[in-house]
Amino acid sequence: MQGWRSFSRGMLLVAAGLGLTAVSGCETNPYTGRSQLLMTSVSQEMQMGTQAYAQVKNDPKLRQSQDPREIEPVKRVAARIIEAAKRSKYAEMAQQFQWEVIVIKDDKTMNAFALPGGKIAVYTGIFPVARTDAGLAAVMGHEVVHALARHGAERMSQGQLTNAVLQVAEAAAGVSGGGGMLSQAAMAALGAGAQVGVLLPFSRKHESEADYIGILLAADAGYDPRESVSLWERMGQMSKGGGPAEFLSTHPSHETRIDQLKQWMPEAMGLYQSKQAVPAAALPSLH
Is residue 143 among the annotated active site residues?
Answer: yes
Q: Tell me if 164 sits within 8 A of 20, measured CB to CB.
A: yes
Cα distance between residue 176 and residue 66, in whole Å: 63
DSSP, res 64: B
Report residue 229: phi and psi, to 5°: -65, -45
Which residue, 48, 30, 51, 52, is CA-closest to 39?
Answer: 48
Q: How far apart are CA 116 and CA 35, in angstroms?
A: 19
Which CA distances in Å does 9 have to 18, 20, 36? 14, 14, 11
> Pick the catalytic residue: 45, 70, 143, 207?
143
Contact criterion met (CB below 8 Å) for 93 and 31 = no
Which DSSP symbol is given to 35?
E
CB 139 within 8 Å of CB 219: no
Is 135:231 a contact under the CB 8 Å cutoff?
Answer: yes
What is the distance, to the nearest Å, from the Cα of residue 211 to the centroid of all Cα atoms in its chain?
9
C-alpha distances (whole Å) from 173 to each of 71, 134, 167, 180 are 57, 55, 10, 7
Residues involved in catalysis: 143
